[in-house]
């Protein structure tokens, strides 16, 4: 094997092959290191996001647990109300105020938040969502007053939530910001009623009575742009209202920024997205405006999220890592662009690896170029001698020996691949008369002209050779008898239509007779036999009048 390689006919290719193998081996090693580095980078990104998601989940779950506590407390109050008769002061106050446009009731002003409400007329105007059932008012008012005892405690247990509230379908509500409402009760209730969370908890929209998350964007009042977690308040098959918590974008942004800085050593941005993949907020900005995702990118992300709870994918020059949250109906994603990646530890190692590979490649190319030039200079003379041994110096076509060798090789290849194989035998008509009339120099010029026509007409994979004085042969691998006949006809027409200008006074008209044979006739791939058949048909063409082709016996 080594002997064959060292005696190859193209030493430049051997030199290039050796250097290519060295380059390929080195590149594979660099690629392997790069792949391992990439896996380490992906693991680092996922671990970082997992830490951030766990921390955020923990805080959100704490708030949701408090929300469920309020729900259970109100359900207990509905089951065991402390208002049991019409003489209770709170119920008397309610019956006295219930017809006013807005009203408030406070059982103990020092320890509770007022329970606010709107008039019965307002409730009747919104009878698609609201209902004031007098038989349920006592127990619901009792539950709302008990909640007003608990809500002041929420500011001590608060982690992320901005406010906690209860809004009733009977036209009353309690909010941890009750002291700020004053005379804006009706406006506040109307605004809360129009927010998406309220309709979300109708039995048809939330049959499982689970936590619902929604985003409210008030363009007039930026401070009202909040993310809301809410649960329905049901008792004995009756839907009383909704208990919820609001999380402002400022607080969520600040928390994401803090935990991102705590768990990450680079500049990657963390975004909180809702279930529609809308960016709510991020560690970079209050509204997540830095996240730019095309519809195609969103579709790819949604498809990846459909079957997995965590994952990662590339988006152009960005690397996106995502993780669904357990306590929030949405997803947390971390975006890392190319520039940020290069500034980190993995980026520095990658740049060093690329630099080493580039330097090695440059040195290898320089060495290859130097050695290849030496080999080239040595092989030029060898190629010149080889050309003279294989080609006819006058026509620049294969000579007879080299042509037969090439033809037999093509024949064996076509036989092995079951491809057609055709032979064209060509002889110039009345060539002896040309030599006798105008001399051998004129004959040589005619031969060169004929060789040029043949070379310009045959296909790239065909070979042609001078096999006699004025006789040529063409081998056409992959060509059927009909294909070869078409090429032969084009050669005949070109020779007949282009006379040879020998001198200013002498113009020589030439023509040729051609015979064509093919393996498609009898399945015979033997070149010598096909050449013999083509030669026989060539003489048939001459006997038929010359300047023609013959394809059949």
Annotated catalytic residues are 470
Under 8 Å between Cβ of 185 and 104: yes
Per DSSP, 317 falls in state T
Residue 320: φ, ψ to 5°? -110, 125
Start-end of H helices in 220-344: 249-263, 295-305, 338-343
Per DSSP, 344 falls in state S
Q: Which of 148, 128, 144 is nearest to 136 (CA)?
A: 144
Using CA atoms, how far residue 330 sits from 202, 294, 304, in Å, is 21, 19, 14
Pairing mode of beta strands 549-550, 512-518:
parallel
Q: Which of 394, 399, 504 is nearest to 441 (CA)?
A: 394
| Long-range CB pairs of 339-346, under 8 A, 24+ apart, other chains included | 340/266, 340/267, 340/268, 341/41, 341/266, 343/266, 343/267, 344/265, 344/266, 345/265, 346/37, 346/40, 346/41, 346/44
- For 351-418, give the DSSP string: HHHHHHHHHHHHHHHHHHHHHHHHHHHHHHHHHHHHHHHHB-TTT-SB-HHHHHHHHHHHHHHHHHHT
Distance CA 157, CA 148 (A): 15
Torsion-angle region of 303 (φ positive above 0: left; ψ -120 to 50: alpha; else: beta): alpha
Distance CA 550, CA 553 (A): 8
Distance CA 382, CA 405 (A): 20
Start-end of H helices in 170-248: 185-194, 196-200
């Amino acid at each position: 094997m080594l002997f064959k390689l060292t005696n190859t006919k193209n030493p430049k290719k051997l030199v290039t092959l050796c250097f290519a193998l060295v380059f390929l081996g080195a590149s594979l090693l660099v690629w392997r290191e790069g792949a391992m580095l990439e896996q380490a980078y992906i693991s680092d990104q996922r671990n970082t996001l997992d830490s951030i998601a766990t921390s955020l989940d923990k805080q959100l779950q704490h708030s949701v647990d408090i929300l469920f506590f309020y729900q259970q407390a109100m359900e207990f109050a509905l089951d065991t109300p402390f208002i049991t008769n019409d003489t209770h002061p709170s119920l008397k106050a309610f019956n006295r105020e219930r017809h006013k446009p807005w009203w408030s009731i406070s059982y103990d002003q020092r320890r509770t938040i007022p329970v606010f409400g709107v008039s019965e007329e307002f409730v009747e105007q919104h009878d698609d969502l609201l209902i004031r059932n007098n038989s349920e008012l006592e127990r619901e008012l009792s539950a709302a007053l008990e909640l007003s005892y608990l809500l002041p405690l929420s500011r001590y247990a608060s982690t992320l939530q901005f406010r906690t509230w209860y809004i009733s379908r009977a036209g009353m509500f309690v909010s941890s910001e009750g002291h700020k409402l004053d005379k804006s009760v009706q406006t506040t209730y109307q605004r809360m009623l129009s927010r998406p969370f309220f309709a979300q908890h109708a039995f048809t929209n939330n049959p499982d009575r689970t936590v619902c998350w929604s985003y409210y964007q008030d363009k007039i009042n930026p401070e009202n742009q909040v993310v809301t977690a809410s649960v329905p308040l049901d008792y004995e098959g009756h839907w009383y209202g909704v208990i919820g918590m609001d999380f402002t974008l400022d607080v969520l942004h600040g928390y994401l920024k803090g935990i991102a800085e705590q768990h990450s050593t680079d500049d990657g941005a963390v975004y909180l997205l809702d279930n529609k993949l809308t960016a709510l907020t991020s560690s970079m900005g209050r509204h997540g405006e830095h996240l730019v995702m095309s519809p195609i990118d969103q579709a790819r992300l949604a498809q990846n999220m459909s079957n997995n709870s965590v994952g990662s994918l590339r988006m152009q020059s960005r690397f996106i890592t995502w993780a669904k949250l357990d306590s929030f109906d949405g997803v947390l994603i971390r975006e890392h662009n190319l520039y940020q990646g290069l500034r980190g530890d993995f980026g520095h190692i990658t740049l060093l690896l690329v630099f080493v590979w580039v330097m090695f490649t440059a040195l290898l190319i320089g060495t290859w170029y130097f050695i290849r030039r030496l080999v080239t200079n040595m092989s030029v003379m060898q190629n010149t001698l080889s050309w003279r041994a294989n080609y006819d110096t006058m026509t620049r076509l294969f000579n007879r020996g080299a042509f037969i060798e090439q033809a037999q090789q093509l024949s064996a290849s076509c036989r092995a691949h079951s491809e057609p194989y055709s032979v064209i035998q060509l002889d110039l008509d009345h060539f002896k008369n040309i030599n006798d009339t105008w001399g051998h120099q004129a004959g040589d010029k005619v031969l060169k002209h004929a060789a040029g026509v043949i070379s310009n007409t045959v296909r790239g994979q065909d070979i042609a050779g001078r096999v006699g004085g004025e006789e040529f042969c063409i081998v056409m691998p992959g060509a059927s008898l009909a294909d070869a006949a078409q090429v032969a006809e084009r050669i005949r027409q070109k020779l007949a239509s282009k006379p040879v200008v020998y001198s200013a006074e002498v113009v020589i008209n030439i023509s040729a007779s051609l015979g064509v044979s093919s393996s498609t006739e009898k399945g015979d791939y033997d070149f010598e036999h096909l050449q013999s058949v083509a030669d026989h048909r060539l003489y048939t063409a001459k006997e038929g009048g010359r300047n023609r082709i013959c394809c059949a016996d």
